Amino acid sequence: MKPLLALLLLPVFAHADPLYITVPGEAFSLKLDTPALTRIQGQGQGEGRRFKYMASGGSSGITISLFSETAGSGSNEECRSTYWKKTQDAPIQFSDVKLYGGDAALFVSSVMEATLQGAKQKAADGHAYFARNGLCMDLHVSHYPYQPGSEKRVEAVLQSLALVQ
């Protein structure tokens, strides 16, 4: 497989295993360095060109999801704007929001807090947004429960992102 893009790899997980997520009908896959994950919703659960994938790391606290849609697929900036707007409309409070990135993907990381079923929840949260082949892709990584270093764990997974053919 030939890397199309590679971002800084940070050694946060002692035994990071490569995770490959194949996007059905596309000529590329995503490669991420993650702790061991268990697939909880399979690849290809989409309609048309929409796609979703979800996996969780159990004891590592890392959860990954990938969503795609055709709206916002003109550029990385348009993609981030489309998805980040939807995220901000959710009943969640975001703090320590950082927007960063470059030509390959644009990133947003934050700490999110919400009250679910009467209990306060807090997690480190991050997104990589990129447009590819007429799709806007949102790679979402979170670490729950929140603890010191959670943001670094999330950012390490996001920054390990590589597109491979």
Calpha distance 111→145 (Å, rounded) = 11
Specify the pTM: 0.84
Please state, rounded to an integer, the average pLDDT across all residues of the chain: 83
CATH code for the domain defined by 3-9+18-164:
3.40.1000.10
Q: Which pairs with CB-CB distance under 8 Å and at least 24 residues apart come from 6-12?
A: 6/162, 7/104, 7/105, 7/158, 7/159, 7/160, 7/161, 7/162, 8/159, 9/33, 9/156, 9/159, 9/160, 10/152, 10/155, 10/156, 10/159, 10/160, 11/156, 12/149, 12/152, 12/153, 12/156
pLDDT at 12: 43
pLDDT at 121: 93
User: Could you read off the pLDDT of 86-99 as tens digits, one per residue?
Assistant: 888 888 899 999 99
Calpha distance 49→72 (Å, rounded) = 13
pLDDT band with cut points at 50, 70 and 90 for residue 11: very low
Domain residue ranges of the chain, discontinuous segments joined by +: 3-9+18-164
Helices (H), 75-121: 76-88
Residues 140 and 129 sit within 8 Å (Cβ to Cβ): no
Does residue 1 register a pLDDT over 50? no
pLDDT at 102: 66
Does residue 44 register a pLDDT over 90? no
User: Could you read off the pLDDT of 121-132 as tens digits, one per residue?
Assistant: 999 999 999 999
